[in-house]
């Protein structure tokens, strides 16, 4: 079940980048940037904003990233405890967002054909968003993702973060 939680969290990150729409980034200095995250390059989010145009925000400066309205003041716990310390998909998703290597690997997967098939299926994406385990566990495409080499790589990057 830990692997399933991990893949749900991974899809939360990918759908954030894939779906577009307004995202709110709260920075470590308390400032807030609102716009559409259009990429993740060289350790920085690329954000299209209405007021400032395209901006790059270093990953280290981002405390919280959230789709939609304002972000909460504090980031969820997780990071240092590794995957075993994560309570659920939201904690794992935040761990992926905070880990530059894992986020880079995850963003690279949004064009992977196996992941695209799931991302393009509205019923499966609904199941991911709602945590509908019965639907996910019965879908062969989704279950095959659990053993995808990149998913294993992201798990390793979270368990053994680079200094």
Domain regions of the chain by residue span: 2-159
CATH 2.30.30.100 for the 2-159 domain, yes or no:
yes
Three-class secondary structure of residue 50 per DSSP: coil
Residues 6+ apart with CB under 8 A from 53: none
Q: Which two tokens stand for residue 151?
A: 């998913």
Cα dist from 73 to 16, 62, 98, whole Å: 20, 12, 16
37-57 pLDDT, tens digit each: 777 777 788 888 888 899 998
**Pairwise CA distance, residues 87 & 84, whole Å:** 8
Mean pLDDT by 10 residues, the chain (163 residues): 63 56 82 82 82 88 68 39 57 78 81 84 81 82 85 84 72
Kindly report the pTM of this predicted structure.
0.56
Alpha-carbon dihedral sign for residues 26, 27, 29, 33: negative
């Amino acid at each position: 079940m830990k692997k399933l939680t991990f893949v749900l969290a991974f899809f939360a990150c990918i759908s954030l980048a894939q779906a577009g729409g307004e995202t709110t980034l709260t920075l470590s200095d308390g400032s807030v940037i609102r716009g559409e995250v259009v990429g993740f390059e060289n350790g920085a989010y690329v954000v299209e904003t209405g007021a400032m145009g395209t901006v790059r925000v270093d990953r280290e400066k981002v405390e919280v990233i959230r789709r939609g309205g304002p972000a909460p003041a504090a980031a969820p716990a997780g990071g240092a405890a590794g995957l075993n310390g994560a309570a659920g998909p939201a904690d794992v998703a935040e761990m992926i967002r905070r880990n530059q290597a894992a986020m880079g690997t995850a963003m690279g997967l949004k064009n992977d054909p196996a992941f695209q098939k799931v991302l393009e299926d509205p019923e499966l994406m609904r199941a991911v968003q709602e945590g509908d385990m019965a639907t996910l566990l019965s879908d062969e495409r989704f279950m095959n993702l659990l053993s995808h080499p990149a998913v294993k790589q992201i798990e390793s990057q979270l368990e053994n973060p680079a200094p």
